[in-house]
Amino acid sequence: MQRDSVGYIFTVAGAVCAVCAFLVSAAAIGLKPQQDAWVQIDTQRNILFASAADDEERAKFKKMSGQEVSEFFKQNFRDIVIDLATGEEVTDQYEGRLADYRQIEAAELRKAGQYTDIPVESDLGQIKRRENHSHVYLRTDSTVRYIFPVRGKGLWSTLKGFLALQPDLKTVSYLTFYSHAETPGLGGEVDNAGWKSRWNGKVLFDDNGAVKLTVVKGDSKTNSEVDGLSGATITSKGVENMMRYWMGDQGFGPYLRRVRQEKS
C-alpha cells in the first residue's frame, strides 16, 4: 500500500485511534481503585465537616490528610443503611460492600429494584426518583450527631449535601453542600460559611413531628425560620423544599420516628 494513498492514511489513523483508546481504557481501569478511594475520603471529609461541634473543629477537619480523615471516620462514626419506606436498618444486606453503595447512582441510573419514581405532586425536591435505601451516618464520640445525605433542585442545579442533627433528632447542627452549580454570589451562597452557620440550632419539627422549618425573606423571627439568601429566592425555596422532602414521610421521616420511639 502506498504511503500517500487514502487507504494507508485511514489505516494509520485507525491504528492510532485504537492504541489511544486502549491506553485510555487501561488507565481508567488501573486508576479506578485509587479514584474510588479518594471519592470515599472526600465523602467522609464532608460528613466530618457536617458533624463538627464548632467552627474550630471544622478547621481541624479541613487540614487533615486523607489517611487522618479515614482513621477518624473509622473510629468515631457508624455507617448504616436504612430502608426509606420503613425506616428499618438494612445494613446487613450490604456486608462487605457498604462503602461501595452509592445511593444517588442507584436512583439516577435507575438500577433495577433500587429506586422509586416520585409522583409529581410529592416531589418537593424535584429529583424525580429516589433510592430505596439510604446511608445514615452516626457520630458516636462525645459529639453525637446524625448525618443525612440530602439533595434537591435549586435554580440551575441539583444541590447535594449533608444535614446534621443533634441527638434529639429535631435540632439542626449544620447543613453543608458538596455539589451545586448555582449562580456565584447569589444562589451559590448556599455554600457560604456564614449562611450555613445560620442553620445551627434551628428546630425542624413541630410537636407532632411534621416539618415546620421555613426559609424566609428578611430576618428570621423564630427558631424554625432561616434567613433566605439575598437575591436568590428560588434557590432558598429549593433548600426549604429539600428539607421538607427528605425529613418528611417520603425521606427519613419513618427512620426518625422509629429512633425517637426507641429513645423514649
Please give the residue that has the higher pLDDT: either 12 or 157. 157
What local confidence, expressed as pLDDT, does residue 99 receive? 85
Least confident range from 1-5, 42-46, 131-135: namely 1-5
DSSP structure string for 43-110: HHHHHHHHH-SSHHHHHHHHH--HHHHHHHHHHHEEEEEEETTT--B-GGGGTT-TTT--HHHHHHTT
Confidence of residue 4 (pLDDT cuts 50, 70, 90): low
What value does the mean pLDDT take over residues 68-75? 96
**Residue predicted with more confidence, 8 or 45:** 45
Q: Please tell me the predicted confidence (pLDDT) of residue 263.
A: 84
Residue 18: its pLDDT value, please? 59
**pTM for the full model?**
0.86
Alpha-carbon distances, residue 82 vs 79, 137, 198, 246 (angstroms): 10, 11, 29, 13
Helix (H, G, I), strand (E, B) or coil at 5: coil
Q: How far apart are CA 47 and CA 63, in angstroms?
A: 14
Confidence category of residue 130, pLDDT binned at 50, 70, 90: very high
* Predicted pLDDT of residue 1: 55
Q: What is the pLDDT of residue 36?
A: 56
Query: Across residues 75-88, what is the average pLDDT?
Result: 97
The predicted pLDDT at position 202 comes to 94
Is the pLDDT at 28 greater than 50? The verdict is no
Question: Average per-residue pLDDT in the chain?
Answer: 88
Q: Tell me the per-residue pLDDT of 88-100, one tens digit each, with 9 for 90 and over.
A: 999 999 998 898 8
pLDDT tens column, 195-225: 988 999 999 998 888 899 999 988 888 999 9
Name the grid cell of 146.
446524625
- In this prediction, residue 6 carries a pLDDT of 56
Looking at residue 156, its pLDDT comes to 94
Whether 38 has a pLDDT exceeding 50, the answer reads yes
The pLDDT of residue 239: 94
Residue 107 pLDDT greater than 60, yes or no: yes
pLDDT tens-digit readout, 247-256: 999 999 999 9
What is the model's pLDDT at position 27? Answer: 45
Collapse the DSSP code of 259 into the 3-class scheme (helix H, G, I; strand E, B; otherwise coil) and give the result: helix
Instruction: Report residue 191's pLDDT band, with 50, 70 and 90 as the boundaries.
Output: confident
* Mean pLDDT of the region 75-100: 95
